[in-house]
Structure 1
């Protein structure tokens, strides 16, 4: 986000601070389900008050971004709805449609807020948010399989697990299953389809600040390719690019912008 002009950069920081705030509520496993529901409900009410011209409460955090870039209230609601999915039930091996809805709410909705800040509009903006959001979220899911299993979550699609002969949805057991590598590779293939679609949108040179989403696409796609090279067989370690790897990607994206 630091590559953006000041106003756009500050708006993106505000949006991501909002996302972090509601994500922290959803992930606060020490809080009761009712407490987490109430925390998300308060954010929803404050967002509504902001758009109605009332006291914004916590939503003051994004007030300047909303005013400056015409961000849609529905997209903030969608993010909150995505976090609520983690609060209402422990997600374990959702069907493909539920997983796609989850990705839309927690990632593509953030993309819909972001593309407005990037100065994009119309079909290219919506398409980029749709595809890049899903690509990034699927990459996160594949990177965080073990961390999610430790807290009882499993975001891999049920249909793909069944196709590879994995029965049940016990996260730790699935994470240790010898067929997991095949499941992960199928999910990775879907993520690559979304990266390709997002990159095609950006290659068409729509109006807007494209360096930031191009950089996000390159960093996450490189992370995914590294995971594919090492595979998902046990023992696993979390894939990290490191500062040198990140700087190399920044340079490559900058030279081809």
Structure 2
């Protein structure tokens, strides 16, 4: 085994920074491996690195072999590594042997590559490093708090769902916006508006994933759905089961779909604030947005689905999203038209608040 790891390490050592990050991205997220290369070269390295840092936090939080205390300790250590206050190689050596076989091989490789990933982080411009470090800090502390909750019967209410989505996705939207503004003074003129919309963009994507993966999460004894909305329709999330997928459940589910639809509408507004000549940046946003809208539409068309695979869009739909985005990417009128067409049949989009959830609790004090 050690010989195999040495051979892999030698092969990785021959890769350039961009080649390494592309290989790691392909292993842990085919979607981002597809979208991130659409960005301008000046943004590619930082955004690819940012995603890998976030995925390292996800790997820690999702590892079933780690206790809650271990997860918090490793997240604190990783924050220090990103900020240059702790040794990346030591962190990697301590964490890698603790990962179970339930963690996918690509994430095992990512943890072994932490020293290279962090070396790339520290080669970035200081404003980029600061944006990535703040994102990792907020994400790690916020996600750790949710790991300690009993999630078998869902989240208390929509506000709590907002907070969860912020820590796993909204904060990523804020970080990306900081990187975009650092890259382009023209984009920076809309920084305040885009920062607000970025949180909503992230939440829309995360809510779509929650709605798609509800039964996979249920098998793990977890639900991220808001109890208050389901209770209003007379459905108790403590009884959540595909067998209890009744009219009350579907009505509440449809309302949550409408909330997600509203966040994705804000994602479109965010994208249209990017200058039309920045076609790669627009495509980076539009591909994710388009696939999310089509996923919501598939969910809404079959609210009685019982497996996440039944809510997954086809490769043909992915190709259609890419083609349509390239056709309309420079024209806001066409983008609005395509968004409305893609959303036909969805509940009317709710108008979510454009603000990050309250962070005055212990998330940033731990």
TM-score under structure 1 normalisation?
A: 0.87
Structure 2 vs 1, CA of residues 8 and 226 (structure 1 numbering), >3 Å: closer, same or farther? same
In the alignment, which residue of structure 2 is the partner of 1:29?
64
Alpha-carbon RMSD across the aligned residues, in angstroms, is 2.4
Q: Does 1:199 align with 2:268?
A: yes
Structure 1, gaps ≥5 residues long: none
Q: Return the match for 1:115 from 174, 177, 188.
A: 177
Give the Cα–Cα distance (whole angstroms) in 2 for the partners of residues 69 and 11 of structure 1.
7
Give the Cα–Cα distance (whole angstroms) in 2 for the partners of residues 246 and 155 of structure 1.
26
Structure 2 vs 1, CA of residues 175 and 116 (structure 1 numbering), >3 Å: closer, same or farther? farther
In the alignment, which residue of structure 1 is the partner of 2:299?
227
In the alignment, which residue of structure 2 is the partner of 1:135?
204
Q: Is 2:154–2:226's contact at 8 Å kept on the other side of the alignment?
A: yes
In the alignment, which residue of structure 2 is the partner of 1:8?
43
Q: Return the match for 1:154 from 220, 223, 229.
A: 223
Alignment of 1:238-249 (within 5 A): 238=309, 239-249=311-321
Bigger shift: 216-225 or 240-249? 240-249
Q: Is 2:216–2:308's contact at 8 Å kept on the other side of the alignment?
A: no
In the alignment, which residue of structure 2 is the partner of 1:183?
252
Q: Is 2:290–2:321's contact at 8 Å kept on the other side of the alignment?
A: yes
Equivalent pairs counted in the alignment come to 251
In the alignment, which residue of structure 2 is the partner of 1:67?
126
1:175-210 residue CA offsets vs partner (Å, 9 max, x unmatched): 834232222211110011111122123334458632
1:134-182 residue CA offsets vs partner (Å, 9 max, x unmatched): 1001101101101111111111111111112122535x54883423222
In the alignment, which residue of structure 2 is the partner of 1:215?
287
Give the Cα–Cα distance (whole angstroms) in 2 for the partners of residues 147 and 181 of structure 1.
17
Structure 2, gaps ≥5 residues long: 1-35, 89-113, 330-366
1:4-40 residue CA offsets vs partner (Å, 9 max, x unmatched): 1233122222111111111111111222222222221
Structure 2 vs 1, CA of residues 83 and 175 (structure 1 numbering), >3 Å: closer, same or farther? farther
Give the Cα–Cα distance (whole angstroms) in 1 for the partners of residues 58 and 199 of structure 2.
20
Report the CA distance between 1:221 and its aligned residue.
Answer: 1.2
Q: Does 1:40 align with 2:101?
A: no
Greater radius of gyration (CA): 2
Give the Cα–Cα distance (whole angstroms) in 1 for the partners of residues 146 and 243 of structure 2.
19
Q: Is 1:12–1:114's contact at 8 Å kept on the other side of the alignment?
A: yes
Q: Is 1:185–1:228's contact at 8 Å kept on the other side of the alignment?
A: yes
1:54-94 residue CA offsets vs partner (Å, 9 max, x unmatched): 45625445333463635423322111123213422243421
TM-score under structure 2 normalisation?
A: 0.63
In the alignment, which residue of structure 2 is the partner of 1:20?
55
Q: Is 1:166–1:174's contact at 8 Å kept on the other side of the alignment?
A: no
